[in-house]
Amino acid sequence: MRKLLITVYKVFLIPHIILYKFSKNKRDIDKDIDRWSDAKDIRGGKISLLLNFLANSTDFRSIFYFRNRGMISHVLNVYCPKEKYFKIDITTKVGGGILTGHPYSTILNADSIGENFYVNHLVTIGAVDGKRPTIGDNVSVNTGSIIIGDIKIGNNSVIGAGSVVVKDVPDNCVVVGNPARIIKKDGKRV
């Protein structure tokens, strides 16, 4: 029965396909679809995968609407709502391949976030005195972490659960704690 309902629901998602086809951010959406497909081990064509993720994931819809800001997205959100507790500031630049782990109560307010970003729930990335973080490529931010201020998070870094990051993090690091401290750099314990 659920499968039948999802199939019927996908018919209502057809306007999303049109939005996707003409999106100026189609390349980033394709990277998002590929990343979600790999993470969930689901195969198929881009349109099929897009419909699957839109039908089954409110957080994917949030990312899709973020990439396609405008009146059409607002109208589509009425009958196909996004995750209301997952916020991405409209001025944040987000690279393709973003993946979420049920980002309930998550706020992304950075200058920029690189490609292949992973974020979990209860994460706050935000400003201090109007200055926001810059996050590199292939960064993972785990549950309950806070990243604030005019700082840089390097490429390939992992922010451990519950970490409070207020200072720069170099490339290839794992940080944990409050305040966050580096426990691994370039694969070696520090």
Residues 93 and 121 in one domain: yes
* pLDDT reading at 120 higher than 90: yes
Q: What per-residue confidence (pLDDT) applies to 79?
A: 84
The last residue of a domain, from among 44, 61, 79: 79
The last residue of a domain, from among 54, 79, 104: 79
Residues 115 and 170 in one domain: yes
Residues 106 and 68 in one domain: no
The last residue of a domain, from among 26, 59, 79: 79
Residues 26 and 68 in one domain: yes
Residues 137 and 163 in one domain: yes
* 74 classed as catalytic: no
* pLDDT reading at 39 higher than 90: yes
The answer to pTM > 0.75 is: yes
Selecting among 16, 74, 102, 121, the annotated active-site residue is 121
Beta strands in the chain (DSSP E): 86-88, 93-94, 99-101, 106-108, 112-113, 118-120, 124-126, 134-135, 140-141, 146-148, 152-153, 158-159, 164-165, 173-176, 181-185, 188-189
User: What share of the chain in percent tops pLDDT 90?
Assistant: 86
Residue labelled with tokens 């973020």: 66
Query: Which CATH number characterizes residue 155's domain?
Result: 2.160.10.10
* pLDDT reading at 12 higher than 80: yes
Convert the pLDDT of each residue in 53-108 to its tens digit: 999 999 999 999 999 998 989 899 998 899 999 999 999 999 999 999 989 999 99
* pLDDT reading at 8 higher than 90: no
* pLDDT reading at 175 higher than 80: yes
Residues 90 and 24 in one domain: no
Q: What per-residue confidence (pLDDT) applies to 84?
A: 92
Residues 119 and 72 in one domain: no
Residues 74 and 99 in one domain: no
Residues 106 and 184 in one domain: yes
How many distinct structural domains can be found in the chain? 2
Residues 32 and 73 in one domain: yes
Instruction: Classify 22 as helix, strand or coil.
Output: coil
Q: What per-residue confidence (pLDDT) applies to 92?
A: 98
Domain assignment of residue 109, given as a range: 86-189
Residues 12 and 45 in one domain: yes
